[in-house]
Amino acid sequence: MRISTHTIYRQGVKPINSHLSNLAKVQEQISSGLKILKPSDDPTSSARLMELHKQLKLNEQYGRNITIANGRQGIEETTIAEVSNILQRARELTIQANNAALTSENRQAIALEVRQLREQLLDTANIRDADGAFLFAGFKEQTQPFSNTAGGDVVYNGDQGQRSLQIGPSRQIASSDAGDDVFMFIRNGNGEFRTDLIADNTGNGTITVGSVTDPATFQSNFMGGNYPYTIQFTVTASPPNTDPTDPHPPSPVRTFDIVDSTGAPVLASQPYTEGETIAFNGIEVAIEGEPGDGDRFIVKPAENQSIFKTLNNLIDVLGNSDRTAAGVAVLTQGLDNALVDIDQGMLHLNQVRGRVGSRMNALDAQDEVNQTFDVQLQKLQSDIGSVDVAEAASRLSEELLALQASQQSFVRIQNLSLFNYLQ
């Protein structure tokens, strides 16, 4: 059998090229720190590395979302705190205005400051986040959420959406609250029902905020009845004073009826004692002062009322005249109701602030979970895809030795020719 010179050279160079290729691969593994340089090196491990890389990228996005959500929550918390300060100042002014020593001019000055607080509140409610989006507009982030109407009220232009961000493989969290939930949907009165007087009353009687004494009866009889309920007074002239020397002449006799919206009686011809509790349908209230004949007081379920409306009501009340007994009663009742509504607003804001704080705690907790998971993924990625330097160095020496042996063998083999022996 004859073997051509070309075949001899080809067979001699083939192992040299193979060792050179292996040597280059080991050198690249050492320099890059990667055990798998291309998928064909280890298809199974390559697939696992791709999945790990995907998980690490998702985890990185979760971290960015947590940062964004924390930023929005921080702005919301600061805003809620500022609104609470505005309401606290309005509360102080309301108490100050309920001082009998003040004049109408003094109260007008207070009303001017309340107007400034209202404008400050409107500006605060229209705050933007770090990206320039309106924080309290729901999903309509490019629409100013609150604006004045021609009548002086404030309307909400956003929607009820809550922007949520993915912060974990199976967890989303709201990054803000819709503006109507924060500023508009606040129960007035004591939260269950509210009281008021009729503006054309002639006496100086006022009605307290009241409270629910029997929740079950309140739900079945009060809320299940025909509200609003009216407490209406009848005043009978006092009998003639037959003893001119009596220092305590007979007083007019006052009685009251309570009727529902259909006029049906709930209580009839009840004797009135100033400040004494009036209980019906699971609630109790009290009336102070001396109501006039035909004076009426309204008791009805609490309603949603915006913080802006609360301040508007306070401004209107401060403009009432206090030159008559009836005018003083209207002013006092209005200030009492404004104070209660402000307290409801502050309570509602504290609840919103509590939700914001809970979400911020959840974000911090999830961030720790993500970081721990990230460390585990990186370790697993390193275990699968990182080269063992000691083992690679050993293979490098092995390939160098094999390459040298192949080169030396080829040198010897290429000189094996019959002509060399015929010289």
**84 and 151 co-located in one domain:** yes
| pTM of the predicted protein model | 0.80
CA angle 14/18/22 to nearest 5° reads 170
Task: Give domain status of residue 107, yes or no.
Answer: yes
Task: Give domain status of residue 421, yes or no.
Answer: no
**83 and 151 co-located in one domain:** yes
**367 and 218 co-located in one domain:** no
pLDDT tier, 396 (very low <50, low <70, confident <90, very high otherwise): low
Burial of 34 (0-12, 13-18, 19+ CB in 10 A): middle
Task: Give domain status of residue 392, yes or no.
Answer: no
Mean pLDDT score across all residues of the chain: 86
Task: Give domain status of residue 227, yes or no.
Answer: yes
Q: Lowest mean pLDDT: which of 92-96, 225-229, 376-380?
A: 376-380
Asked whether the predicted pLDDT for residue 23 surpasses 90, the reply is no
**215 and 161 co-located in one domain:** no
Domain, as residue range, for 140: 46-188+306-320+340-386
**378 and 347 co-located in one domain:** yes
pLDDT given at position 52: 75
Higher pLDDT, 161 or 34: 161
pLDDT given at position 46: 62
**180 and 207 co-located in one domain:** no
pLDDT in tens, 118-146: 999 999 999 999 899 999 999 999 999 99
E-state strands within 109-241: 146-148, 154-156, 164-168, 171-174, 186-187, 193-197, 206-207, 211-212, 229-236
Q: Which of 82, 304, 358 is nearest to 181 (CA)?
A: 304
pLDDT given at position 54: 85
pLDDT tier, 71 (very low <50, low <70, confident <90, very high otherwise): very high
CATH of the domain at 168: 1.20.1330.10
Q: Lowest mean pLDDT: which of 167-171, 179-183, 334-338?
A: 167-171
**What total number of domains does the chain contain?**
2
Asked whether the predicted pLDDT for residue 35 surpasses 60, the reply is no
Q: Provide the terminal-to-terminal Cα distance of the chain, rounded to the nearest Å.
A: 24
**296 and 312 co-located in one domain:** no
The whole-number average pLDDT for the span 85-89 is 97
**172 and 202 co-located in one domain:** no
The whole-number average pLDDT for the span 136-160 is 94
- What percentage of the chain reaches a pLDDT higher than 90? 64
**224 and 362 co-located in one domain:** no
Q: Lowest mean pLDDT: which of 103-117, 156-170, 228-242?
A: 228-242
pLDDT in tens, 318-350: 988 777 889 999 999 999 999 999 999 999 999
Amino acid at 219: Q
**226 and 171 co-located in one domain:** no
The whole-number average pLDDT for the span 180-195 is 96
Asked whether the predicted pLDDT for residue 305 surpasses 80, the reply is yes
Task: Give domain status of residue 278, yes or no.
Answer: yes
Give φ, ψ of 305 to 5 degrees.
-145, 135
Task: Give domain status of residue 416, yes or no.
Answer: no
**143 and 75 co-located in one domain:** yes
Task: Give domain status of residue 413, yes or no.
Answer: no
Burial of 87 (0-12, 13-18, 19+ CB in 10 A): buried
pLDDT given at position 214: 97
pLDDT tier, 377 (very low <50, low <70, confident <90, very high otherwise): confident
Q: Lowest mean pLDDT: which of 253-262, 281-290, 391-400?
A: 391-400
Task: Give domain status of residue 330, yes or no.
Answer: no
Is the dihedral angle over the CA atoms 265, 267, 272, 275 positive or is it negative?
Answer: negative
**297 and 179 co-located in one domain:** no
